[in-house]
Amino acid sequence: MTDSAAPPRKGRPRNADADEAILAATRTVLAEQGWGGLTMGDVAARAGVAKTTLYRRWPSKNELVVSAVAVLFDELEMADLGSLQADIEAVVQQFADLLAQPESRSALLALFAEATRDPALRLRVREAITDPQKQLVRQGRAAAQARGELPPDENPAQARADVDVIFDTIAGAVEHRMLVTGEPASPEWIRRFTTLLLTPMTAPESH
């Protein structure tokens, strides 16, 4: 009788603590040295791991930096707080808090600046950071539709386009506020921005 069980995986299992240390070291070195100054050797030394360990996990500098920044966005969540206004204000505050951290801000700026010159890197940023975060918008819309705040989606293509526009509007406004003008995203600003965003979305349709 043939044993159908899957063969054991070769090699050592990945160490979550080592991964976390490597990604944190990547953001630190990126903030200190910039994209051009960051090397895999510097990251390995800062994280206290061998370069071979680093390359086994991330075969290139691009993949390493994208992962180091993407993990920050994994912490964002769209909580169901009972209203679309409250839900969006909460996630915008989370995003603003992320950008308020000097190391996170520096790493994000360095990655985005390099991505403007590297189409392959830009694609990886979209795949690993931008597109996954659009799920937050979809979750917020679904919760609002379940509460009756928004009408159900009748056209899937239009719904996808709406999600793209809403995401771009939120991300673009917060990033411009904090990274370009250098102004804080205060609770008052977040409330005003969210109100302006939602007014056309929640206004009753005229017949």
188 and 92 in a single domain? The answer is yes
Res 4 pLDDT > 80? no
Report the predicted TM-score, pTM, of the whole model to 2 decimal places: 0.83
Band (30; pLDDT cuts 50, 70, 90)? very high
Q: What is the CATH number of the domain that holds 161?
A: 1.10.357.10
157 and 77 in a single domain? The answer is yes
State pLDDT tens for residues 66-107. 999 999 999 899 988 999 999 999 999 999 999 999 989 999
State pLDDT tens for residues 100-128. 999 899 998 999 999 999 999 999 999 99
32 and 131 in a single domain? The answer is no
User: Across the chain, what does the average pLDDT equal?
Assistant: 89
**DSSP for the chain?**
----SPPPPPSPPP-HHHHHHHHHHHHHHHHHHHHHH--HHHHHHHHT--HHHHHHH-SSHHHHHHHHHHHHHTT------SSHHHHHHHHHHHHHHHHHSHHHHHHHHHHHHHHTT-HHHHHHHIIIIIHHHHHHHHHHHHHHHHHTSSPPPS-HHHHHHHHHHHHHHHHHHHHIIIIIS-----HHHHHHHHHHHHHHHHSPPP-
164 and 139 in a single domain? The answer is yes
Band (207; pLDDT cuts 50, 70, 90)? very low
**Residue 49 belongs to domain spanning:** 16-66
How many domains would you assign to the chain? 2
51 and 77 in a single domain? The answer is no
